[in-house]
Structure 1
Amino acid sequence: MNRLRVFFEKDKKMIGKLVKNDFKARYSGSYLGVIWGVVQPLITVLIYWFVFTVGLRNGERPDGSPYIIWMMSGIVAWFFFSDALGAGTNAFLEYSYLVKKLNFNVGLIPLVKVGTSLIIHAIFLGIVTIILNFSGYTADWYYLQLMYYVACNFMLVFAVVLFTSSVTVYMRDVSQLVGIFIQIGFWAIPIVWGPEVLSGRLRFIFQLNPVYYLVEGYRDSLYAHVPVWDKPLYTLYFWVVTGALFALGMYTFRKLKPYFADVL
């Protein structure tokens, strides 16, 4: 925990400045700017709503809730994870000029990419909550859980990005593998299909994926009204896995960091 505290607390002003610059650079030159960061996920949601609600005429879940509400509540968690993972994996390649600076803390670079994705996530999450409220799922105290699950999402993807971004400096194929993983991961997690279609043993296997915890957590907070303390063992499992991934990411980063400038 001490390492984690130092990683986040050091150079706070630098992190904020870099996140701001990275956020501006991502949408520089486009007329709509940050709106593009919201338009793409919204279009994706509308496509799945049309296919599963209009095309297949399956507008409700087994529990009677609208399919679009169920899907949108979970997909918002995945959008943040996948966007941060995709952008963060190439962080050191994109900011190679900073890596070569002797006095710059290169460990901030993956954090900046995840932070930029977090801004987009906050905007899209706000839009989703507005849609839910207009659909009759009014805000209540369960929404406070979103802060916890967003923090979980941030920590998990940051842990993974620490590893993938470090290895990508030496093996550029890793970024391609991550792209494939994101494509497969979307369909391997109950985002557009319900976990009730799985048998008990198979569902348990799928639950071993920590992103499953995030998707269900967002749904619990936005409309299902399930408190986080109802899943103590699963919560413990998530943090054990996230902690292990963070330790792996930090170890890999520290081992490879001294040679980044030579490779880049």
Structure 2
Amino acid sequence: MQFVSNLRESSFRRKLIVDLSKNDFNKKFKGSYLGALWAFVNPVITILLYWFVFEIGFRSGSTPEGYPFVVWLICGMVPWFFFAEAFASATLSFSEYSFLVKKVVFNISILPLVKIFSAFFIHLFFICFLIVVLLCYGVTPTIAWLQLFYYVFCTFALLVGTTFITASIMPFFKDIAQVVSVIVQIGFWLTPIVWSLDIAPLKYHLLFKLNPFYYIAEGYRDAFLYNTWFWSKPFETLYFWIICFVLFTVGVAMYKKLKPHFADVL
């Protein structure tokens, strides 16, 4: 009976997360003429801007592997859009949903997940967008594309640990939202998303690879372009999951320690 009860509770929680995520997604653009279209317009414009600057302006016609630059670029940009949006919004989850935080019976630990899933809805569109672009450029689908599910899971794992830390700090230190914004900006340029790691001096390669998002960005390219499986990079894979485990452990510990004081400061 306890097992059945736990299954029902888990099912209810999953449904609640999805329902709240849909509501959060719709609420973001409520009142604007284009509505949810703005969630897709801005990233598309960003991709076009970088494509114009780097491929037309700097004449980066193709990557060292021979793929068109725009294809290589989108493979790195699509997961970054998801991570950056979810990271920033989930950091504000406890503050934004303060009315739920003050309800004793509500399990507020799902709030960062609500924000992450809300951003994931947009990510699903851009995954489809990416696949269409790949097909238009003649990239043939392979079984390695199935790794997309693995790398999406990796992104969720990295986000959950990271945002539990920042969201738990946010009610006590409002400036954390600005800190996250700065981290996102720095992280974008320090991750080989619009530039290739090959152009950096070899002695700095390890330093760039310490960024856990490097594993995800390169993973999308490995899956869609290079047909490289994640288990062929055992040390990078092990390092990534150690980082995720540490972030999750720290995040949960901070959440449990600070949760009793949320209602007092919100």
Give the TM-score band, short-chain normalised. Answer: over 0.9
Which residue of 217, 220, 227 corresponds with 1:218?
Answer: 220
Question: 2: distance between equivalents of 1:138 and 1:28?
Answer: 39
Q: What are the residue-to-residue correspondences of 1:153-168 with 2, within 5 Å? A: 153-168=155-170
1:65 aligned to 2:45? no
Residue 198 of structure 1, CA deviation: 2.0
Question: SS of the counterpart of 1:74?
Answer: helix
Which residue of 94, 101, 104 corresponds with 1:102?
Answer: 104
CA contact (8 A) 2:100 2:108 kept: yes
Question: SS of the counterpart of 1:11?
Answer: helix
Residue 8 of structure 1, CA deviation: 7.1
Note the residue ranges of structure 1 that are not aligned, 5 or more in a row.
Answer: none
Normalised to the residue count of structure 1, the TM-score between the two structures is 0.94
Q: What are the residue-to-residue correspondences of 1:229-244 with 2, within 5 Å? A: 229-244=231-246
1:90 aligned to 2:101? no
Letter in 2 for 1:153: T
Letter in 2 for 1:164: T
Residue 30 of structure 1, CA deviation: 2.2
Q: What are the residue-to-residue correspondences of 1:32-71 with 2, within 5 Å? A: 32-71=34-73
1:204 aligned to 2:206? yes
Aligned-residue RMSD, C-alpha: 1.7
Letter in 1 for 2:88: G
Which residue of 73, 76, 89 corresponds with 1:74?
Answer: 76
Question: SS of the counterpart of 2:231?
Answer: helix
Residue 228 of structure 1, CA deviation: 1.3
1:263 maps to: 265
Which 4+ residue blocks in structure 1 deviate beyond 4 angstroms?
5-10
1:146 maps to: 148
Letter in 1 for 2:232: D
User: How many residues were matched structurally?
Assistant: 260
Q: Deviations over 1:183-242 (max 9, x none)?
A: 111100001111001233310111011100000000111112111121111111111110
Q: Deviations over 1:17-72 (max 9, x none)?
A: 21121111112122322221111111111001111111122211122211111111
Letter in 2 for 1:203: H
Letter in 1 for 2:47: V
2:117 maps to: 115
Question: SS of the counterpart of 1:58?
Answer: coil
Normalised to the residue count of structure 2, the TM-score between the two structures is 0.94
Question: 2: distance between equivalents of 1:8 and 1:109?
Answer: 15
Question: 2: distance between equivalents of 1:8 and 1:147?
Answer: 22
Percentage identity across paired residues of the two chains? 43
2:248 maps to: 246
Question: 1: distance between equivalents of 2:15 and 2:121?
Answer: 17
